[in-house]
């Protein structure tokens, strides 16, 4: 179980440009951190650094897993649920093919075993949470509002629907540390409400969220300004 993510004296550098320096923060299980800043302030680069893509120019990021400290970037990446700028969808794949591929790629447990795993890992209390724990693909699509589009190739999806599919994939991968880049982008009011609910739920189950956003995450969350 992931318990905390700590950044110490972190410097973010992209190419030859130093974007941010001396950053320090800690996110604990169940917490959400919002990254704020103008365009080009390094929000995306910081997320990429935490995900392990971008090496830190200075300082370090440590993830604590059951008391074990993980500082290897690629190992850290195995805990990351990623929602980037791009939706990472293939035009010719249907919604369900898309999810099936990522499910297999991420070794996501199949429907039956997930229910057991999730309820074992964290006590299921409310009905809403119980439904979320049943990460069956059909349930998942219903939850995310894409049930009718299941067999539709992604090229026919609207921008908002593409974003919802990306969210469904985020849930499917079952990663404890969510890194979200502008999660509210391209979504309508209902969609934004969904994102806020999912984040709250993820935190409620002991997950961690770091999101680059202009808007409230819908939690009494902490804010880091870049």
Partner 1 sequence: MTPFLALLSRDLRLSVREGGGAALALVFFALVATLVPLGVGSDLALLAKVGSGVLWVGAALAALLSLDRLFQADYEDGSLDLIALSPLSLEGTAAAKILAHWLSIGLPLTLFSPILSVFFGLSAPTVMALTLSLAIGTPAVSAVGAILASLTLSVRRGGLILPLLVLPLLVPVVIFGAGMAVEVQTGLANGAPRFLLAFSLGATLLSPFITAMAVRLNLAG
Partner 2 sequence: MFDWLFRYANPARFMGLTTTLLPWLSGAAVLALAAGLYLGFSAPPDYQQGRTVLILFIHVPAAIMSTMVYGCIVVASLFSLVNRHILADVAARTAAPLGAIFTLLALATGSLWGRPMWGVWWVWGDARLTSTLVQFFLYLGYIALWGAIEDETRAARICAVLALVGAVNIPIIKYSVEWWATLHQGESIMSGKLAGVFLTPWLVMMLFYVLLFVCLWLVRIRTMILERRIRSLMQGAS
Residues that bind partner 2 (CB under 8 A): 14-16
Which of the choices partner 2, partner 1, none does residue 130 contact, using the CB cut-off of 5 to 8 A by kind? none
Residue 96's beta-bridge partner residues? none
Question: Does 58 engage in binding with partner 1 (CB under 8 A)?
Answer: no
Residue of 85, 130, 148, 214 that binds partner 1 (CB under 8 A): 85
Looking at beta carbons only, is 52 or 103 nearer to partner 2?
A: 52
Question: Does 107 engage in binding with partner 1 (CB under 8 A)?
Answer: yes
The tokens describing 168, both together, are 């469904």
> Are 174 and 166 within 8 A, CB to CB?
no
The CA distances from residue 70 to 78, 94, 173, 189, in Å, are 11, 37, 20, 38
Give the nearest distance from C-beta 51 to partner 2 in angstroms: 17
Sheet holding 68-70, edge to edge: 17-28, 2-14, 58-65, 68-70
Give the nearest distance from C-beta 185 to partner 2 in angstroms: 25
Give the nearest distance from C-beta 84 to partner 2 in angstroms: 18
The tokens describing 55, both together, are 């090496």
Site pattern 122..161 for partner 1 (x: CB under 8 A): ----------------------------------------
Question: Does 169 engage in binding with partner 1 (CB under 8 A)?
Answer: yes
Looking at beta carbons only, is 17 or 130 nearer to partner 1?
A: 17
Phi first, then psi: what are they for 193, rounded to 5°? -60, -40
Residue of 29, 54, 70, 201 that binds partner 1 (CB under 8 A): 54
Looking at beta carbons only, is 9 or 85 nearer to partner 1?
A: 85
Question: Does 80 engage in binding with partner 1 (CB under 8 A)?
Answer: yes
The tokens describing 158, both together, are 């609207």
The site for partner 1 (CB under 8 A) is made up of 14-15, 48, 51-55, 77-78, 80, 82, 84-93, 101-102, 104-107, 169, 175
């Amino acid at each position: 179980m992931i318990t905390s993510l700590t950044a110490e004296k972190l410097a973010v550098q992209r190419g030859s440009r130093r974007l941010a320096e001396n950053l320090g923060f800690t996110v604990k299980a169940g917490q959400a951190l919002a990254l704020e800043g103008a365009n080009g302030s390094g929000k995306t680069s910081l997320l990429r650094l935490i995900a392990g893509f971008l090496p830190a120019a200075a300082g370090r990021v440590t993830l604590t897993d059951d008391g074990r400290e993980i500082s290897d970037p690629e190992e850290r990446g195995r805990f990351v649920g990623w929602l980037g700028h791009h939706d990472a969808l293939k035009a010719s794949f249907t919604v369900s093919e898309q999810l099936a591929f990522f499910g297999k790629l991420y070794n996501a447990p199949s429907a039956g075993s997930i229910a057991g795993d999730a309820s074992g890992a964290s006590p299921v209390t409310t009905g809403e949470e119980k439904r979320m724990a049943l990460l069956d693909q059909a349930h998942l699509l219903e939850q995310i509002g894409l049930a009718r589009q299941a067999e539709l190739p992604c090229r026919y999806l609207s921008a908002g629907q593409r974003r919802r599919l990306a969210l469904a994939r985020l849930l499917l991968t079952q990663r404890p540390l969510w890194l979200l880049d502008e999660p509210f982008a391209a979504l309508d009011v209902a969609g934004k409400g969904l994102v806020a609910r999912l984040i709250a739920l993820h935190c409620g189950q002991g997950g961690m969220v770091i999101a680059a956003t202009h808007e409230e995450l819908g939690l009494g969350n902490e804010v880091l300004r870049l």
